[in-house]
Amino acid sequence: MDPQHINDYDQQIHEAAECLKENQAVAFPTETVYGLGANALNDEAVQHIFAAKGRPADNPLIVHVADKMHIEDVVTHIPDIAHKLIDAFMPGPLTLILESNGACASNVTAGLSSVGVRIPDHPVARALLQACRLPLAAPSANRSGRPSPTSADHVYKDLNGRVAGIVDGGQTGVGVESTVVDCTGDRPVILRPGGITKEDLESVVGPTDFDAALLNQKEKPKSPGMKYTHYAPEAPLWLVEGDLEFLQSQIDQLRENDKRVGVIISEEHVDQIEADEVQVCGSREQLSEVAVHLYSALRAFSTDTIDVILCESFPEYGMGYAVMNRLKKASTSVITQDK
């Protein structure tokens, strides 16, 4: 199951489902990023995920299921607010934190009493879940700490020889991971911004909070993407908060010190910036487009040709929350212009 574009996915899905039934780990596409899946009910199967990724054991995994009925297989109950979110956004890029009924392996929940569950909205992912008839624990299919994969080629570069197979479903659509919402309390709390925006959620369930304390917590995280360094490219990434003149001054200063500089920039600003390498990540007027191209842009730079990467900042509303969340976690430094 090396990545290859073929018209007939039936054989790929059949082979992948058999591997999963044998408690092996398989990479597959979702609408957000590629996931590395294994039988969520079996500790040994799930351990293959941690081993392949080099992932810390206290970082919980999200469980992917085929439909709402199968959410009920792994949780104690579904609160009313969660029912509303499921009906509005699933299948889709939304993960709900609910009380676990203990059915999932202990290394899925990292010893927590809760579990994250979602229904992916990708035909290959849905077909695979139906074929294997298992809930699949599935974090992103990359080496831990690296940018998440949005193509089978990204997966191959990170995990070739470390997993049983890769189902190639082409480029993913959303580009960043699912939004994670904690539904174990009285009010929904966003633990990770993603493919469903805060505004989307509030249109269905009313006021919804970001949990800033949890995003920086030192205790066990309730959601992936909350505690450890994530999404980092090969070269150090500097996130620059300021105008274009300030960004260019940072580039010039580095180049004067014999540093080769790469830049991630919006299409509106690309003609106004000079650097050694430039990657355009989409339009500032369409932040969902920036999300789609973000991880590919981060992966495009190599330390063979670049010493440091600078990236402009983006407005923090709508999908901009998710974009800036990933950039802040990927960056080694945030450079802010004096006002």
Of 135, 128, 123, 133, give the one whose Cα is nearest residue 165: 128
Residues 6+ apart with CB under 8 A from 337: 240, 241, 242, 243, 246
State the average pLDDT for the chain.
93
Q: How confident is the model at residue 57 (pLDDT cuts 50, 70, 90)?
A: confident
What average pLDDT does the segment 37-52 reach?
97
Give the tens place of pLDDT for each residue, 242-278: 999 999 999 999 999 999 999 999 999 999 999 999 9
CA distance 83 to 62: 18
Give the tens place of pLDDT for each residue, 186-227: 999 999 999 999 999 999 999 999 987 544 544 455 655 555
Give the tens place of pLDDT for each residue, 127-146: 999 999 999 999 999 999 99
What average pLDDT does the segment 152-168 reach?
97
Give the tens place of pLDDT for each residue, 216-227: 544 455 655 555
- Residue 311 C-alpha from the chain's centroid: 19
Give the percent of the chain with pLDDT over 70.
92
- Indicate whether 42 pLDDT > 90: yes
Length of the chain: 339
Burial category of 133 from C-beta neighbours within 10 Å (exposed 0-12, middle 13-18, buried 19 and up): exposed
Class of domain 10-215: alpha beta
CB count within 10 Å of CB 157 equals: 14
**Which segments of 105-228 does DSSP mark as H helices, in order?**
106-109, 123-132, 152-159, 198-205, 212-215
Task: For Cα atoms 15, 109, 174, give the angle at the middle one, nearest 5 degrees.
Answer: 60
Task: For Cα atoms 216, 283, 234, give the angle at the middle one, nearest 5 degrees.
Answer: 50
Residue 9 is predicted with a pLDDT of 74
Of 160, 149, 134, 144, give the one whose Cα is nearest residue 29: 149
Q: How confident is the model at residue 3 (pLDDT cuts 50, 70, 90)?
A: very low
- Indicate whether 34 pLDDT > 60: yes
Residues 6+ apart with CB under 8 A from 71: 65, 78, 86, 96, 98, 117, 119
Q: Which has the minimum average pLDDT: 11-25, 84-98, 206-220, 294-308? A: 206-220
Residues 6+ apart with CB under 8 A from 219: none
Instruction: Answer for the pair 4, 12: CB distance below 8 angstroms, yes or no.
Output: no
Residue 222 is predicted with a pLDDT of 60
Of 258, 256, 313, give the one whose Cα is nearest residue 290: 313
Instruction: Compute the CA torsion angle 151, 155, 156, 159 (nearest 10 deg).
Output: 180
CATH number of 237-336: 3.40.50.11030
Q: What is the pTM of this model?
A: 0.92
What average pLDDT does the segment 147-174 reach?
96
Task: For Cα atoms 21, 27, 74, give the angle at the middle one, nearest 5 degrees.
Answer: 55
Residue 228 is predicted with a pLDDT of 52
- Listed by start position, the domains of the chain span 10-215, 237-336
Q: How confident is the model at residue 13 (pLDDT cuts 50, 70, 90)?
A: very high
